[in-house]
Amino acid sequence: MNLLPPRPDTVATFRVQRRFHFADGTSEAEYFTTVRMLRNTAPTTEPPGRVWTDMNPDIVAISTRCTPQLTDANDPDAVARFKQANRWMAAHS
């Protein structure tokens, strides 16, 4: 199979870890699966938005990390997107 180079607008499935960092030094994570463009998968740490601080004022930062996820090993298109996402993550992390 000839694998095209990954492009920023390539869409793939990712498992996302969103970690909440609290003022007392502890943290807690939530995980979910989503479909994203590769350009939106860089690991980030940022201050919480108003929505999060309204829910819990002790949140001081939120970090996000995406991991490519293979959805169907028998589907050549899904395998190609997974491989492209892995190549993208290796080159941009």
Domains of the chain, by residue range, sit at: 11-91
Instruction: List pLDDT tens digits, range 15-67.
Output: 999 999 999 999 999 999 999 999 888 888 889 888 888 988 999 999 999 99
Tokens of 43: 């690991």
Check whether 1 has a pLDDT greater than 60. no
The whole-number pLDDT of residue 7 equals 83
pTM for the full predicted model: 0.81
How far apart (Å, rounded) are the C-alpha atoms in residues 73 and 90?
21
Cβ atoms of 62 and 43 within 8 Å: the answer is: no
Cβ distance 9 to 39 under 8 Å? yes
Question: What type of residue is 41?
Answer: T
Does residue 3 register a pLDDT over 70? no
Residue 10 has pLDDT above 90, yes or no: no
Q: Is 52 exposed, middle or buried (0-12, 13-18, 19+ CB in 10 A)?
A: middle
Q: What is the pLDDT of residue 91?
A: 86
